[in-house]
Structure 1
Amino acid sequence: MSIIPSDNKECCISIIMPTYNVEQYLRQCLDSVIGQTFTDYELIIIDDGSSDGTVSIITEYEERYPNIHFYSQQHGRQAKARNLGISKARGKYITFLDGDDYWPEDHLEELIKALTGSDSDVCLAYTVNTFTSKKSAEFRFIDIEGEKTFPDIDELEKVFFSDKGFPGGVCNISVKRDFLISNNVSFDESLSTAEDSNFTLSILSHNPKSVLTDKVKYYYRQDNIASTNHHFDIAKIKCYKHVMSKWFDIYKAQGREKAMKAVAVSYRQLIGTWMAVPFFSKENITVLKLVFERKDIVNCGDEKFNPYRLMYRKLKDCIR
């Protein structure tokens, strides 16, 4: 999808938020945006065919706040919704928020400080508070103290790609709108999952000047049972495999060994997905076959990797 520049008056930052049946959590999310200490923003909400009370809540907030803009589409998944949001955006920068998550009140203030202070194309903010109704925990995908600027991908790669894989969550990346337009970067609407990782790696493939910060924090909900992350789906596993294979092959052709190994680690995490379904099942066999069609990725950086260790562990759990 090509991104068409907006002719509307520019604001500082556009927040793109897809929603789908998040009635239970949406007010907390919207209130966290309304309560931001930085106010030169627009919130673009794209509802993806909700069947609960999500739309009525959005309409209520849109009527109360002039910088909230609401669009809707038939159910077409997040990639399509986010592309629609980007096409409507008029901010100098673009950032992302999901309707069941929320921000601390200084999220945008710290984000804009990082972007403008370093004059970067991209801000990567990977301090995340995962939470449920009963507990929460803070962690960092990238272990960095304070704020650091990277002039090109060669320097960024040293910390972005690691032996833990790479962080691909789109809600932790903010980018100049002009950068997306000039490089024709958008979400791949053919993907039902991993569209966020593909989007992030697509941005980085265009060698942006980047800033990493631990001051911008994000609250990520883990107990929304309606979330796509809570449902086992062979089609999604095939999709994830497709994305990881694509980028592994790209990095291999470029001779970027560290990026290859990080993608391989993320790919091997796919094997853990089959552990979410009954051990003696056709789904397990199907997933293992899918994963091991790319033995080069499975073995990259971990020649001693042995899937039978996982199978033995799962069998022990079944016996217990």
Structure 2
Amino acid sequence: MRDKKARAVKVKNLMIGGGFPVTVQTMWKKPLEPVSDALLAEINALVVAGCDILRFAVPVIEDAALLGDLQARIDMPLVADIHFDYKIALECMKRGVAKIRINPGNIGDEARVAEVIKAAVDTGTPLRIGVNAGSLPATLRDEPDTVKAMLASAELELELLDRHGFKNAVFSFKSSDVSTTIEVNRRFREKYDHPLHLGVTEAGPLVPGIVKNTAALYTLLKEGTGDTIRVSLSADPLQEVLAGREILRTAGLSKKGLNLISCPTCGRTTFPVRDFYEKVQARLASLDLDICVAIMGCNVNGPGEARHADLGITGAGKYALIFKKGREIRRELIENAVPAFLEELEKL
């Protein structure tokens, strides 16, 4: 069930909320730089993997021009992440950046927020009001009930938005605590129809980060709450995108991308499962096919226990065996495994 209670907010060429498909976001992990072929290629790799929206930190006003130039070169909506200086948000809107994220805990007083809202109205730019448990307004930091404090912070912004007749706002409520993240999003959705951006902040490195985000996001998405997601990790943005897509597939909200299975490996392993996956993961993530692909470490798991796979690969001595539905179709030297496998993949 999609979040049909949420109103729809248009972000460049995408719709967030309104029952539209849940989108996947990530955040660029490096400082902004002038547009180059190398930068565009890096961003395109994220798009191929399933990234719908990309957010950039914009710490100084000079960076607004760089982000505006980049937005002019790509179709994917870019988001300017603004803290402390509201004037940077104004400049980003002038430069045509698709969306602005502000933190009510540090963007400044009501007058500054009002300036941002007025500019958003004038330029037709959607906003994300990002409420974080760790950076609440000073007046709410002593509130022992974190969920209550986060909702109160959001309601202060809602009053301003309503006063200016601004409807195109997405809200997010993030905590490093899974239970808090779930509860605050549930309670906001009970009262309001603004689209929700889901995520667990400061979730940590790859393993704990994916576990925390999956616990929170899967729970909310299965309840029908949530319109766009970001899996925050101390890891490469590509890993965030892949994790986000997998959460949507697991929650039954996306068929984009194939179902990948692989064995955990053991002493019988004769095929470099992890190394092989790292070489083909970007291509696998780009495929919008409803198929099962298996990467197995030995001939016990593949093709035996993976005989249902539409395409699979395993190892036997110095050879890689490629199979379909349990039947071997090709045998290549291990060093030729990647191109041979990708060639068979293209035939599906």
The structure in which a higher percent of residues are helix is: 1
Q: TM-score range by the shorter chain?
A: under 0.3
Greater relative contact order structure (CA < 8 Å, 6+ sep): 1
Instruction: Give TM-score scaled by structure 1 length.
Output: 0.28
Q: TM-score, normalised to structure 2's length?
A: 0.26
Q: Based on CA coordinates, which of the two structures has the bigger radius of gyration?
A: 2
